[in-house]
A = this chain, B = another copy of it.
Amino acid sequence: MAHDHSNLLKHVKADMPKDETLQDLGDLFKVFGDTTRIKIMYALHEEELCVCAISELLNMTQSAISHQLKTLKDANLVASRREGKTVYYSLSDDHVKSIIAEGYEHITE
């Protein structure tokens, strides 16, 4: 810590949300930070899919997909609906699409 920024920092500090909020933000993005989960969300982009369809699509075990779907559900990013033996997952709201779209723009420019 060297030269003085007390005035500057006072200003910046006042504009920062509280720690808990920033922690929650980081936790949310952590969920986006995995290729498998990104693929799942992308697959659900247009229509709901059942677990075994997703595992077939991504060529991964049902267990792995189910674990990831739980992570996504805990973060309120997907919703599930049971119909007999099968469970259908879909994106829970449009933020998911927006966030992925923004990220996509960033990497393709």
Seen from chain A, the residues whose Cβ lies within 8 Å of a Cβ on chain B are: 1-3, 5, 8-9, 12-13, 15-17, 21-35, 37-39, 42-43, 45-47, 49-50, 52-53, 55-57, 76, 86, 93, 95, 98-100, 102-108
Interface pair B28/A16, CB less than 8 Å apart? no
Interface pair A107/B34, CB less than 8 Å apart? no
**Given A12-B49, A16-B43, A22-B35, 8 more pairs with CB closer than 8 A:** A1-B55, A8-B47, A12-B57, A16-B39, A22-B42, A23-B35, A95-B105, A99-B102
Which residues in B have their C-beta under 8 angstroms from that of A107? Answer: 21, 24-25, 28
Interface pair B95/A29, CB less than 8 Å apart? no
